[in-house]
Amino acid sequence: MKYTRKILPIIVISQFCCTSLWFAGNAVMSDLILNFNLQSNALGQLTSAVQLGFISGTLLFAILTIADRFAPSRVFFTCALIGALFNAGIIWNNNTLTTLLILRFFTGFFLAGIYPVGMKIAADYFEKGLGKSLSLLVAALTIGTAFPHLTKEISNSLPWYYVILFTSFLAILGGFLMFFLVPNGPFRKEAQQVKLFAFLDVFKNRKFRSIAFGYFGHMWELYAFWAFIPLILNTYKSFHSHATFNIPLWSFLIIAAGCLGCIVCGTLTKYIKTKKMTSIILLLSCICCLISPIMFSTNSSSLFLSFLLFWGMVVVADSPLFSTLAAKNTSAELTGTALTIINSIGFLVTILSIQLLSFLQNNYNPTIVYVVLAIGPILGLIALNKKATQ
């Protein structure tokens, strides 16, 4: 037990460092548009490229059962190094939209060996208290996702590419920490051979299916919200000239608020069943989607920012709860594959919602379009409560 307590902080720190690659491009999006003569819709395209890369990576990892056949720490380390290199490629002076899309695609591809593999490593160490452990891991993902926005604000007087180089450095550091300090966990069961259709087998479990479809509804909202936070803030400022808040700083704070949500919900699962807690959080984020047009109309910047902070807390707080439910309803030798495949499909859903939101943002009143994000939580609640596991 003492040993695993020392391991968890290392896993969390490594996850934070490596997932900073995810939104590194978003944090400097205005600089990329200016320096490489990109169109205004580049935000949706480059964000979707990362998501598509992640989908491709997780699908391949799931088909080949990579996380279950090989030492997960080594997989994590290798993907962290390669992902950092592709991320750093953004600073090349001769980049075009095509090369940037390729670089972001492969950054996402190798994130497939970081996020779900990190959860697999946690599951190998924590048979009991898995919900709390995964909550800390998703909290680390949340801070890692938000961190490039803070880095952008802190280094505002420095060239934009410092943000990219720093996030790549963090990913390399996280990879080394995981490789050298986190051996195979005591509950790891290694898959002995390639089972090309093992990722399909997990869906034969009715309870797992219910959880997975609930998770897909959650993912419809999550990354679209995260990706568009700077635009949400900018839209509010354009309608309310008195608003003077700092967009990069508040983008960081709103996304990072999810860290607190994850930790609180992970702790509450000691007293409230995981399924019930998941449903409560999913309902709260759904309500945020539905009332977003009303909040855009308020003249109080403080109220609007407080609303976004709350939304930022609940939009991701159910993510570790879904992962916990999925891990507990899968055989130990296929835990990595199960977590990887639902991530793959879940991120495919994010591409659809991001592209839809990008289209609506450019063609309709931007203060009302975020209502469409409620579609995911509504369908997720229906799926989750269709005789899902406790």
**In this predicted structure, what is the pLDDT of residue 389?**
43
Query: DSSP states of 242-284 as a string?
Result: T----HHHHHHHHHHHHHHHHHHHHHHTTTS-HHHHHHHHHHH
**In this predicted structure, what is the pLDDT of residue 287?**
98
Residue 388 has pLDDT above 50, yes or no: no
pTM of the model: 0.79
Sign of CA dihedral 290, 291, 295, 298: positive
Per the model's pLDDT, the better-predicted residue between 194 and 91 turns out to be 91
Q: How far apart, in Å, are the Cα atoms of 39 and each of 96, 278, 364?
A: 11, 39, 18
How do residues 238-272 score in pLDDT, each as one tens digit?
Answer: 999 888 888 889 999 999 999 999 989 888 888 88
Q: Strands, E, within the chain: which ranges?
A: none
Rounded distance between C-alpha atoms, residue 293 and residue 21, angstroms: 31
Could you state, in order of their start, the residue ranges of all structural domains in the chain? 2-183+197-384
Rounded distance between C-alpha atoms, residue 301 and residue 275, angstroms: 35
**In this predicted structure, what is the pLDDT of residue 132?**
72
Out of 55-59, 350-354, 377-381, the most confident range is 377-381
Query: DSSP states of 283-317 as a string?
Result: HHHHHHHHHHHHHHT-S-HHHHHHHHHHHHHHHHH
The CATH number of the structural domain formed by 2-183+197-384 is: 1.20.1250.20
Q: What is the mean pLDDT of residues 98-110?
A: 95
Residue 387 has pLDDT above 60, yes or no: no
Residue 133 has pLDDT above 80, yes or no: no
Percent of the chain with pLDDT over 90: 46
**In this predicted structure, what is the pLDDT of residue 144?**
86
Phi, psi of 28 (to 5 degrees): -115, 25
**In this predicted structure, what is the pLDDT of residue 377?**
96
Query: DSSP states of 128-150 as a string?
Result: SSHHHHHHHHHHHHHHHHHHHHH
Rounded distance between C-alpha atoms, residue 355 and residue 367, angstroms: 17
CA 334 remoteness from chain centre: 22
Residue 195 has pLDDT above 70, yes or no: no
Residue 50 has pLDDT above 50, yes or no: yes
Nearest to 324 by CA among 380, 376, 259, 266: 266
Rounded distance between C-alpha atoms, residue 107 and residue 3, angstroms: 32
